[in-house]
């Protein structure tokens, strides 16, 4: 089973299906019209650790790979607990994070990031998705928030732009200039797909507030790319 929803998960599903491995990709279902990976698909939550254990017991799964977003910590923790309980092999595909840029300011949470903003700019571009938006509601700063799907309830304190990436550096430059953005807020998602906004901010000499990743549970098998995950699965399949 492949816990998916990321570009790395879709690439891994493609590699595995091409390699003759039966794959079930599990998607959270929070995003409408999500890109469909190769292989079988299930959508929706499991109901915590107990629900995931019950699902795994009811399906012929040999290996679980967690290729969810680096900030999907609850899913990773639940999968680690469930696979440990059942004695199943478990791998985490965790893309590398970004390193510091010219004018980066690190924060441990959305709330901590919001506290930094008044000293950095007056027109904010939030690129953290829907989770954590409410922490920025009381900054008093003009704010543009980009999401794939609109938050519910729709916030009145910020302007929304609904769009699905990837975005080019040219696209990001145009958006930053159009809205006269003077500070960018992002999560340390890592990977090349969402990095153009960082290069655009650097071109314009804008400060960037970066929310740190939460740590992974200790003792897990971890790789950083889809080909590495494919090799791991194929080794496990032969053992």
pLDDT averaged over every residue in the chain: 93
Both tokens assigned to 17:
């299906």
d(CA 193, CA 56): 32
Mean pLDDT, rounded, for 132-150: 95
Q: What is the pLDDT of residue 41?
A: 94
Mean pLDDT confidence for 220-236: 95
Instruction: Assess contact for 93 and 65: CB atoms under 8 A.
Output: yes
Comparison of pLDDT for 188 and 192, the residue scoring more? 188
Distance (Å, whole) CA 151 – CA 160: 9
Contact between 174 and 204 (Cβ < 8 Å):
no
Mean pLDDT of 209-217: 94
- Is residue 143 a contact partner of residue 151, using CB atoms and an 8 Å limit? no
**What is the average per-residue pLDDT within 179-185?**
98
Distance CA 65, CA 56 (A): 13
- Per-residue pLDDT for 30 more than 80? no
The predicted structure's pLDDT at residue 50: 97
pLDDT-derived band at 33, boundaries 50, 70, 90: low
Percent of the chain with pLDDT over 70: 97
Q: Which domains does the chain have, with CATH numbers?
A: 2-96+214-238 (3.40.50.720), 104-211 (3.40.50.720)
* Token couple for 36: 């469909």
pLDDT cut 90: percent of the chain above it: 83
Helix (H) or strand (E) holding 181: none
Pairing of strands 183-187, 208-211: parallel
Q: Which residues contact 178 (CB under 8 A, 6 or more apart)?
A: none
How many angstroms separate the CA atoms of 155 and 150, rounded?
9
Residue 32 has pLDDT above 70, yes or no: no
**pLDDT at residue 134, rounded to an integer:** 94
CA quadruple 222, 227, 231, 237: dihedral positive or negative? positive
pLDDT of amino acid 221:
96
**Residue 92: pLDDT above 80?**
yes
What would the pLDDT profile of 97-114 be if each residue is shown by its tens digit? 998 888 999 999 999 999
């Amino acid at each position: 089973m492949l816990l998916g929803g990321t570009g790395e998960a879709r690439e891994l599903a493609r590699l595995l299906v091409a390699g003759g491995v039966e794959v079930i990709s599990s998607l959270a279902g929070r995003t409408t019209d999500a890109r469909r990976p190769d292989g079988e698909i299930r959508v929706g939550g499991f109901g915590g650790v107990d629900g995931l254990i019950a699902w795994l017991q009811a399906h012929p799964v040999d290996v679980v790979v967690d290729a969810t977003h680096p900030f999907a910590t609850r899913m990773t923790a639940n999968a680690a607990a469930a696979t440990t309980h059942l004695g199943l092999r478990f791998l985490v595909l965790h893309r590398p994070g970004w390193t510091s840029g010219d004018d980066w300011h690190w924060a441990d949470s959305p709330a901590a990031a919001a506290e930094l903003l008044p000293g950095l700019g007056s027109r904010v571009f939030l690129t953290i998705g829907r989770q954590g938006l409410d922490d920025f509601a009381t900054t008093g700063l003009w704010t543009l928030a980009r999401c794939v799907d609109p938050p519910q309830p729709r916030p009145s304190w910020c302007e929304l732009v609904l769009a699905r990436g990837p975005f080019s550096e040219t696209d990001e430059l145009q958006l930053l200039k159009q809205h006269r953005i003077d500070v960018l807020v992002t999560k340390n998602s890592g990977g090349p797909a969402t990095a153009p906004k960082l290069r655009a901010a650097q071109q314009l000499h804008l400060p960037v507030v970066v929310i740190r990743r939460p740590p992974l549970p200790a003792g897990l098998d971890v790789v950083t790319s889809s080909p590495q995950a494919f090799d791991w699965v194929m080794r496990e399949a032969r053992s």
